[in-house]
Structure 1
Amino acid sequence: MDRSRIALVVPALNEGTTIARVVASAGRHASVVVVDDGSTDATATLACEAGAIVVSHGVNRGYDAALNTGFAEAASRGFAAVVTLDADGQHDPSLVTQFIAALEDGADVVLGVRNKRPRFAEHLFGLYTRLRFGIADPLCGLKGYRIDVYRALGHFDSYGSVGTELMLFAARRGLRIMQVPFRVGYRTDAPRFGRRLSANHRILRAMVISWGRA
């Protein structure tokens, strides 16, 4: 797979302290598409200066909406695959080489498996997907998809799935899924996405809806 046809989609909300570094590092491996989700800092400007394609939301619309926009942008530009990557530096951008290699090896979806998960609901959702699909870490933000998987569903998210709907769509259809374990980094401040809502509540809600679609 031509690396120029792979998009690294990075949702970002007020990540001015890290976004330039993430874009510069990730951009060594593929094209970077940053979705600025209504930031009030210089996230969009810094991402653009670092070499990213930047798409901006006028107001904050949330994590899943940012990824919806990123996938739509990648599809419209003719990219063959998308790897999603967090903007806060917790995902080492050099990891994308493993995801690209797995896609080149024939995987339809590649999932990151973190060495730690901070929330109770993440463990519960992970237990469900491990028993049902063999997926260890459904809520990891580091994932890779062939664009054909996205086109088959027609969207990335439709119900606030916390980044899981497209993955589960692929699993239910028996597509080839590979998993890549990695060590997650640290951030020094609070997560940007979902700050105003209970993260556990959002995750449990997404799990219940996903369960109902099984």
Structure 2
Amino acid sequence: MFPDFKVFVVIPGYNEAQTIASVVRGVLPYATPLVVDDGSIDGTAAEAEKAGAHVLRLSPNRGYEGALDAGVTEAARLGAQAVVTFDADGQFDPKDLESVIRLLADGEADLVLGQRPAPARIGEALFNVYARLRFGIGDIVCGLKGYRIDLYNRHGRFDGGTSINTELAIHSMLRGARTKTVPVTIRARETGAPRFGTGFRANRRILKAVAQAICADLKMSLGLAAKS
């Protein structure tokens, strides 16, 4: 659909053999699916390869952030002009990729953020309060995000390990990246565990990411103030 624009859709997966093939097939009309098999023991990698994905195998398991970081690094190595992050559990509708990729391919945005109808956890709602006040973004935690590869190259990494797919987005917005939002459809999970946990553990991880984002924001603001 975008023959002159090289896009990889990075899909971290841990024991997602039941859904990964259908996710890959849904992505194929829009971009190259790059599945990061994060130490699965259920055949996730084999199912992804059979469906037509480029597969990166990790061992041992690196977790959600580590898998994303490895996947974006691999996409950059393969010459990607942009990457889109996507979940392996069937919650996202692949049709939403078209609007995300078109904004990147047409040069209208450096960063495209998917916006869900509602946050899934209280921690996400609190993170979104910060994002709305600071950037005018209603949903910073949605796992469907698109990045021109220049943003990754400038920052030097995608996720340091605690940001739940927000580090590069926030870093880029703080530095003036052209940012657009698109609504995305959320479907019921088909199988597997939530991408970064449940209950108290998940909310604690999200709040840690909020603290990291605010610290990065303050550090940059203080640095700019010192230079002025």
- So what's the TM-score if we normalise by structure 2? 0.90
Deviation of residue 189 (structure 1)?
4.4
- Quote the residue 2:26 is aligned against: 25
For 1:190 and 1:128, how far apart are their aligned partners in 2? 29
SS of residue paired to 1:213: helix
- Quote the residue 1:78 is aligned against: 79
Contact 2:89–2:192 (8 Å) recurs in 1: no
Residue ranges of structure 1 left out of the alignment (5+ in a row): none
1:45–1:178: structure 2 CA closer, same or farther, 3 Å change rule? same
For 2:79 and 2:184, how far apart are their aligned partners in 1? 29
Residue ranges of structure 2 left out of the alignment (5+ in a row): 218-228
For 2:95 and 2:21, how far apart are their aligned partners in 1? 15
1:203 alignment partner AA:
I
For 2:53 and 2:185, how far apart are their aligned partners in 1? 25
Runs of 4+ in 1 over 6 A off after TM superposition: none
Instruction: Render the CA deviation track for 1:157-205: whole Å, top value 9, x for unaligned.
Output: 1141000000001110111000001221111545243338810000000
Contact 2:15–2:192 (8 Å) recurs in 1: no
- Quote the residue 2:209 is aligned against: 206
- Quote the residue 1:148 is aligned against: 150
Larger radius of gyration: 2
For 1:158 and 1:84, how far apart are their aligned partners in 2? 16
CA-based RMSD:
1.5
Contact 1:138–1:164 (8 Å) recurs in 2: yes
1:87 alignment partner AA:
A
SS of residue paired to 1:198: helix
For 1:127 and 1:91, how far apart are their aligned partners in 2? 23
Aligned counterpart in structure 2 of residue 162 of structure 1, from 164, 170, 177: 164
- Quote the residue 2:90 is aligned against: 89
For 2:141 and 2:4, how far apart are their aligned partners in 1? 26
For 1:190 and 1:74, how far apart are their aligned partners in 2? 25
- So what's the TM-score if we normalise by structure 1? 0.95
For 1:134 and 1:9, how far apart are their aligned partners in 2? 26
Q: What percentage of aligned pairs have identical amino acids?
A: 45
For 1:103 and 1:26, how far apart are their aligned partners in 2? 16
For 2:53 and 2:99, how far apart are their aligned partners in 1? 21
Contact 2:37–2:45 (8 Å) recurs in 1: yes
SS of residue paired to 1:149: helix
